[in-house]
Amino acid sequence: MEVPHQLLLALSFVAFAIIHLVQAQPDQQGFISLDCGLPPNESPYTDPLTGLIFSSDADFILNGLRGEAGDDRRQYKDLRYFPDGIRNCYNLKVEQDINYLIRAGFSYGNYDGLNVYPKFDLHIGPNMWTAVDLETENDREIIYMSKSNLLQICLVKTGQTIPMISTLEVRPLGNDSYTTRFGPLDLIYRRHYSSNSSGTIRYPDDVFDRKWDNYNEFETEVNTTLSVRSSSPFQVPEAVSTSGISPENATKPLRFLLSLEDDSDRVNVYFHFAEIQSLSSNDTREFDIELEDHIVQSAYSPTMLQSDTKYNLSPQKCSFGLCYLDLVRTSRSTLPPLINAIEAFKVVEFPYAETNPNDVAAMKDIQAIYGLSMISWQGDPCAPELLKWEDIKCSYTNKSTPPRIISLDLSSRGLKGVIAPAFQNLTELRKLDLSNNSFTGGVPAFLASMKSLSIINLNWNDLTGPLPNVFHNREKNGLKLTAQGNPKLCADASCKKNNQNYVVAIVASVASVFIIVAVLILILVFRKKRATQVQQELPSTRPSIFTQTKRFTYSEVIALTDNFERVLGEGGFGVVYHGSLNGTQPVAVKLLSPSSVQGYKEFKAEVELLLRVHHVNLVSLVGYCDEESHLALLYEYAPNGDLKQHLSGERGGSPLKWSSRLKIVIETAQGLEYLHTGSKPPMIHRDVKTTNILLDEHFQAKLADFGLSRSFPIGGETHVSTAIVGTPGYLDPEYYRTNRLNEKSDVYSFGIVILEIITSRPVIQQTREKPHIAAWVGHMLTKGDFENVVDPRLNREYEPTSVWKALEIAMSCVNPSSEKRPNMSQVTNELKQCLTSENSRQGGRQDMDSRSSVEMSVSFNTEVTPNAR
């Protein structure tokens, strides 16, 4: 079939146009363009003004929340902010030893309604790049040579405001242009001179995507319509080079002023020139380039229609923080100086060396293998020391020497599987703690080959098989390996023959083994003696639990939790595991951690309280374990988690209805009322909060966690003086201020719980005008803004009088004066009236004016957020 001539001509034209368009577009290879906070389902997109392809940042950051600034510019419409953690870092893959232009963009836009501009620091790896104050600046840019294949840009919280970012861009530069051997170059300004240019020149005109701001110096403008070549490594855009300025007075120097924040700052200035005027045969343009009193270039003449760049080779200090940049005409020049553009940079000192890259790679592998997600595990593991990762220790020689990881503590992290070979890549590791996890398989021989490793703790895992002989050989070199609580692990190959299990304990020398055996014999003799001489026993430093009711051995705890297979949660006491009695009755097992901020005193208090109090709305104690260093509590299992999880949406599903929320807090109130009035002696819980309100299979509330509970006096005395404990936000400010504890302290905490079920908002949220929930609700009600107090997920499906009455109760509970708070019996009765009102609701909602029948007096002023001690 013959193709018509006209069609061939049209196809050729289209092909030519496409080829021309492709050739005209610069390559974006190596570009990283992140629109921070962009929803992943809207990623990627092509910016219509620049042709740059922007992607969501979701795959490059572990934390942060999305916000919207309302900015008309596409990349600044969305943002990401970081209310949690001190340091939050973007992880970007780059090439090592390459200069990169890094640009961070910000548009606050009052996204949080606080109208307070954030202040925070930006770090690159372990080093501070710059302090950001969004009231005075928007974008920050730096030229930095990468030290490894991982580039980490970190936002670091330094005060009360929350760090945020709109856009993050990384562009590779040639190493033959900008000089970074004295330190990274923090951009002060980049200007080109033209009155005809509109806006900023950037990609695709600039292949490196530098942003050139147009600036008018009120001098004589020079421009050309001819093409200007750029053969230098700086590749100044033609749109920049085709215009420039000369001094208005041709006999005087062309002067520019550079203002610095600090007198000690050092600068590098890049002057860009191209001769763009037609010169006659007898014309000469020649001038000296001066930076302060330093001659950058003498008797310089720009090249005709070709861009060229001159700069000071060494960073320059300026007097009193003011730098004078002068282009001074020489005596034989017939024409005044001419310049197209200037870039000015501050040279930044990055004193800290990054952690040894092999250690970093090993930690990243360990993190990925076991799914570890600690918020502090961002940025450089060791540097700066104040921001190092939790659970590791590092050795520091000096700032310029890469730190090494020497200790790693991953105890009680719920880790499963075999001990991965990645650990052996931490070649300077001296101590490794993997205890209280669920590791399986054998003890790998590579641990013994780690020359620096001297302490290994493998206690309480599910390791199996004989211990490799290489560990016995390491005894001579000081290795200490402990592996108690691994019933399937034995000391040597003999366990295969006699089928006996051994607890492995390899210590520094044979002598230490004999010492341990001797101590064990003494303990056995002592215990036997104690059994026959109970009446003569001296008081112990650790008081015993006298009752033997519902007591389990530690081996029974291991069995009923299937060797601590399933983790339910973690608190100040330790890790909570799922267990099963007789394979049928589920239980929650709370195991005391050796590093617990609480201890035996709290453990004993909780056991003794739960053994003597019984109420349908208090969690029931199934049993306990008190065996030497092993302490555990066995509770009835609450399959629906805690109230906090449902209010925050963490457990998914539909939000709790208002009637369900009321029922839960009434049941909790009944449990507290029983502690205050039905228990003998009366008890104060001291840690009432939504995470301690558990929900069983029928969503019945169970108040839990009695480790901080205290009895309180009845009769003449009204309070106890005690050390302050509790959770910030829930802690009674009067108790915090006076150390005087009474049952009204629980009432205050319970009032906070009521406010949570009404609002579903965090107890403390720094982005609010009033960070504490009680102060915020009081502020909103003072303004008459009832609607925005109530959780919008309720969709107004509630009786307004019921909610208003609950608010009244909550605000009376959180009165700063304990004398003005109701007792728990009054609170319980009032809440039941709220539920009755809600249950009587028929058809549509009543008019909001019904709240006028409820008299409410809110007197709210003072300190509502004491910190727990």
Q: Note the pLDDT of residue 136.
A: 83
Q: Is residue 359's pLDDT more than 90?
A: yes
Question: What does the mean pLDDT of the chain come to?
Answer: 84
User: pLDDT of 586-609, one tens digit each?
Assistant: 999 988 876 554 566 677 777 777
Tell which residue, 293, 424, 345, has the closest CA to residue 183. 345
Q: Is residue 64's pLDDT more than 90?
A: yes
Which amino acid is present at 374? M
Segment 613-627 shows an average pLDDT of 86
What is the per-residue DSSP string for 123-166?
EETTEEEEEEETTT---EEEEEE-SSSEEEEEEEE-SSSPPEES
Give the least confident one: 130-144, 181-195, 492-506, 762-776.
492-506
- Looking at per-residue confidence, does 105 or 653 come out higher? 105
Segment 99-103 shows an average pLDDT of 97
Residue 310 annotated in ligand binding: no
Q: Note the pLDDT of residue 477.
A: 74
Tell which residue, 857, 607, 818, 848, has the closest CA to residue 733. 818
- Strand 32-35 and strand 99-105: pairing? unpaired
- What is the rounded CA–CA span in Å between residue 162 and residue 119? 8
Segment 391-411 shows an average pLDDT of 92
What is the second-level CATH architecture of the domain 357-515? Alpha-Beta Horseshoe (3.80)
Give the highest mean pLDDT range of 219-223, 669-673, 729-733.
669-673
User: pLDDT of 65-74, one tens digit each?
Assistant: 999 998 889 9
Concerning whether 687 is annotated as a catalytic residue, the answer is: yes
Task: Give the model's confidence band at 496: pLDDT under 50 very low, under 70 low, under 90 confident, else very high.
Answer: low
- Looking at per-residue confidence, does 226 or 623 come out higher? 226
What is the per-residue DSSP string for 419-451?
--GGGGG-TT--EEE--SSEE-SPPPGGGTT-T
In CATH, 187-347 is 2.60.120 = yes
* Preceding omega of 118 cis (within 30 degrees of 0): no
Q: 554-636: what CATH class?
A: alpha beta
Contact assessment for residue 204 and residue 50, using Cβ atoms and an 8 Å cutoff: yes
Task: Give the model's confidence band at 856: pLDDT under 50 very low, under 70 low, under 90 confident, else very high.
Answer: very low
Chain centre to alpha carbon of residue 708: 29
Q: Note the pLDDT of residue 598.
A: 52
Contact assessment for residue 256 and residue 215, using Cβ atoms and an 8 Å cutoff: no
- What is the rounded CA–CA span in Å between residue 707 and residue 729? 19
Q: Note the pLDDT of residue 686.
A: 87
Segment 453-473 shows an average pLDDT of 90
- What is the rounded CA–CA span in Å between residue 675 and residue 610? 11
Residue 229: strand pairing partners: 306
Q: Note the pLDDT of residue 540.
A: 36
Active-site position among 112, 462, 642, 687: 687
pLDDT above 70 as % of the chain: 84
Segment 814-834 shows an average pLDDT of 93
Q: Note the pLDDT of residue 500.
A: 40
Segment 295-314 shows an average pLDDT of 95
Q: Is residue 854's pLDDT more than 60?
A: no
Q: Note the pLDDT of residue 502.
A: 42
Structural domain spans, the chain? 32-175, 187-347, 357-515, 554-636, 643-853
Give the least confident one: 8-17, 325-334, 426-435.
8-17
Q: Is residue 21's pLDDT more than 80?
A: no
Task: Give the model's confidence band at 373: pLDDT under 50 very low, under 70 low, under 90 confident, else very high.
Answer: confident
Phi-psi category of 127—alpha, beta or left, where left has phi over 0 and alpha has psi -120 to 50?
A: beta
- Looking at per-residue confidence, does 527 or 174 come out higher? 174
Compute, in degrees rounded to 10, the torsion defined by CA atoms 759, 760, 762, 767. Answer: -60
User: pLDDT of 530-543, one tens digit each?
Assistant: 434 433 333 333 33
Q: Note the pLDDT of residue 595.
A: 56
Q: Is residue 521's pLDDT more than 90?
A: no
* Alpha carbon separation from 692 to 304, 571, 642 (Å, rounded): 78, 10, 7
- State phi, psi for 212 to the nearest 5 degrees: -105, 110
Decide if 32-175 and 554-636 have a common fold: no
Task: Give the model's confidence band at 375: pLDDT under 50 very low, under 70 low, under 90 confident, else very high.
Answer: confident
Q: Is residue 848's pLDDT more than 70?
A: no
The two structure tokens encoding residue 790: 């109530």
Q: Note the pLDDT of residue 715.
A: 46
Q: Is residue 450's pLDDT more than 80?
A: yes
Contact assessment for residue 177 and residue 233, using Cβ atoms and an 8 Å cutoff: yes
Segment 541-561 shows an average pLDDT of 67
Q: Is residue 185's pLDDT more than 90?
A: yes
Q: What's the fold here for domain 32-175?
A: Jelly Rolls (2.60.120)
Q: What is the pTM of this model?
A: 0.58
Contact assessment for residue 807 and residue 790, using Cβ atoms and an 8 Å cutoff: no
Q: Note the pLDDT of residue 600.
A: 65
The two structure tokens encoding residue 734: 């009067």
In CATH, 643-853 is 1.10.510.10 = yes
Q: Is residue 383's pLDDT more than 90?
A: yes
In the chain, % helix, strand, coil (3-state, to 5) comes to 25, 25, 50
Neighbours of 336 (CB within 10 A): 22
Residue 707's SS3 state is coil
Token pair 């001690």 is found at: 869
Segment 820-844 shows an average pLDDT of 85
Contact assessment for residue 653 and residue 590, using Cβ atoms and an 8 Å cutoff: no
Q: Note the pLDDT of residue 495.
A: 59
